[in-house]
Each structure stands twice: as structure tokens, then as C-alpha cells.
Amino acid sequence: MSTISWDEFAKVELRVGRIIKAEPFPEARKPAYKLVVDFGPEIGQRKSSAQITSHYTLDELVGKQVVAVINFPPKQIGPLMSECLVTGFPDENGAVVLCVPDKDVPLGGKLF
């Protein structure tokens, strides 16, 4: 593992948002959902693809707060232009478990 400076870490915009829309993403190569995440009035809404189908249903995702990187360049994923990276950790089988705040926090808040 290499080390980074605080200044390098500070460049990563890890922000909290709320999933406001979740739909199937049948065009994805691996099972995934299309998400729309609201990061509040300053940042707005961003689209993302997330391979989280093992642990989450569409219904339980809407309203959930998540932590996402918002300053990567947009990335084309099939027909979807992904505008943020929703973060998570792999479980013992490699399925993604979302990284979420354990209490509601203001949308757009930066992780530090």
C-alpha cells in the first residue's frame, strides 16, 4: 500500500447524497441498478450505475443516504453516463455493501 498526503486525499470529493430513483439496468454486463442521487441544491442530482443487486432491492434503495465520489469525470456505462461513484465494501462473497452514514446528515456534506 502506498501512502498519500492530506492534500491528495482532500482532492477526492466524497459527498453524501440521497437515492431518489432506482431502476433495473438490464444492459449492464454485470447485474446492476441505475441510480439517481440527490446531493442537495449546491451540487444537484447525479446518475450512477451500482452493482448492488445482491443485497438491495429497488424499493429499499429509494430514500437511502449514500457516500459517493462526485469529482471523477463522467464515464459511459452502456447507455448510461455515470456522473458519480457510489461507494461500498465487498462482503465475504464479493457482493457490494453500500457505504452509508449511520444517521441522516445534510445532503452534499463532504467526508473528512
Domain ranges of the chain: 7-97
For residue 14, list its beta bridge partners. Answer: 69
How far apart, in whole angstroms, are the C-alpha atoms of residue 3 and residue 39?
A: 29
Quote the CA–CA distance of 36 and 10 in Å, as a whole number. 25
pTM of the full structure:
0.95
How many CB atoms sit inside 10 A of residue 1's CB?
3
HSE at residue 112, side-chain half, CA atoms within 13 A, is 7
- The radius of gyration of the chain from alpha carbons, rounded to an integer in Å, stands at 14
Arch. (CATH architecture) of 7-97: Beta Barrel (2.40)
Q: What is the pLDDT of residues 47-83, one digit of tens each?
A: 999 999 999 999 999 999 999 999 999 999 999 999 9
All three cell numbers of 62: 429509494
Q: How far is CA 72 from CA 68, 82, 84, in A?
A: 10, 10, 7
**CA 81/CA 99 separation, integer angstroms:** 22
Q: For 98-109, how does the pLDDT look when each residue is reduced to its tens digit (9 = 90+)?
A: 999 999 999 999
